[in-house]
Amino acid sequence: MDHFLQIYGTLPRAGPGSNELTRRAFEIMSDVPESPRILDVGCGPGMQTVELLRITSGTVVALDLIPEMITRVRARAVSAGVSDRLETLEQDMTEMVFPESSFDVVWSEGAIYFLGFEAGLKKVKDFVEPGGYVVVSEAVWLKPNPPPEVVEFWKEYPEIDTVAAKLEVIKRIGYESVGHFIFPATAWTEHYYNPMEERIAEKTAEWRGIPEAEAVLKKARNEISIFRSHSDYFSYAFFVMRN
Ligand SMILES: C[S@@+](CC[C@H](N)C(=O)[O-])C[C@H]1O[C@@H](n2cnc3c(N)ncnc32)[C@H](O)[C@@H]1O
């Protein structure tokens, strides 16, 4: 495993979120079939995948580009006793193709941005039943005029925008927005930054003198520090929309 994956690929989640928030977003949907067919795009280590399998009697197709993530989502589903309803697909989401209306729900926590927010929502529209749902979490600004270090940090993801701007995109594509909510700070720390700090501490001595590895640690420390100092400026939000 490369150094990046040894930090980012070994955490309980690969981005902000929690089972509680996954359930809260799920509950916004009405009249989802009892055994829905769900596509989880960019499943990562699969915390939300397994939660979706627990709260429904449906099936989940969990898609991710990285083989280690596919291994982890499968292992997690086996531990939870829900692996019989899990299908995994090791695939680049830019290449995903499914027959029209294949899914009742398309889910994507912190990953639709790899396609671009608008392009991603457009792409999955064909895969969802008419009347079905698309549920995504995405980075949002909470207030204007962030300090320069925050602007610099988010340059890597220039699509971060206000909730209002994201809702405008959702409407423009032709979805009906049925709900959204902003993540609390604990959704960044509990399963993501706190375990990341532990991983950084474990690796600091071991990786000393390896420039590429030290660069990964520096970037991770900076990311955590930006969040801890400025989480009043940005967060993630869940967006629940109907096709
Ligand atoms: C920020 S993580 C979120 C993972 C998970 N949904 C979570 O919240 O813990 C993004 C995930 O998208 C995956 N990914 C990145 N680019 C991808 C692509 N082009 N196709 C499929 N998966 C991709 C990564 O491997 C990673 O697991």
**Band of residue 17 on the pLDDT scale cut at 50, 70, 90:** very high
pTM over 0.95: yes
Q: Do 142 and 232 meet the contact criterion of CB atoms below 8 Å apart?
A: yes
Region 135-154: mean pLDDT is: 97
**What's the confidence (pLDDT) of residue 82?**
98
Report the nearest atom of ligand 1 relative to the CA of 192.
Answer: 9
Region 12-24: mean pLDDT is: 98
Q: How far is the CA of 64 from the centre of ligand 1 (A)?
A: 6
pLDDT at 1 over 80: no
CA distances from 185 to 48, 188, 194, 224, 234 (A): 18, 6, 12, 12, 10
Domains annotated for the chain, with CATH where assigned, are 17-139+158-185+235-242 (3.40.50.150)
Tell me which residue has its CA closest to atom 5 in ligand 1.
44
Q: How far is the CA of 32 from the centre of ligand 1 (A)?
A: 25
- Which of 49, 89, 93 is the best mutation target for the ligand 1 pocket, counting ligand atoms within 8 Å of the beta carbon and taking the most? 93
Q: How far apart are CA 167 and CA 62, in angstroms?
A: 26
- Could you tell me which residues are beta bridge partners of residue 91? none
Report the nearest atom of ligand 1 relative to the CA of 44.
Answer: 27
The 10s digit of each residue's pLDDT in 162-195 is 999 999 999 999 999 999 999 999 999 999 999 9
Query: Is the Cβ atom of 119 under 6 angstroms away from ligand 1?
Result: no
The separation between the first and the last C-alpha atoms of the chain, rounded to the nearest angstrom, is 39
**What's the confidence (pLDDT) of residue 27?**
98
Residue 99 CB-half CA count within 13 A: 1
The 10s digit of each residue's pLDDT in 57-109 is 999 999 999 999 999 999 999 999 999 999 999 999 999 999 999 999 999 99
Region 30-43: mean pLDDT is: 96
The 10s digit of each residue's pLDDT in 197-233 is 999 999 999 999 999 999 999 999 999 999 999 999 9
Q: How far is the CA of 160 from the centre of ligand 1 (A)?
A: 17
Tell me which residue has its CA closest to atom 10 in ligand 1.
111
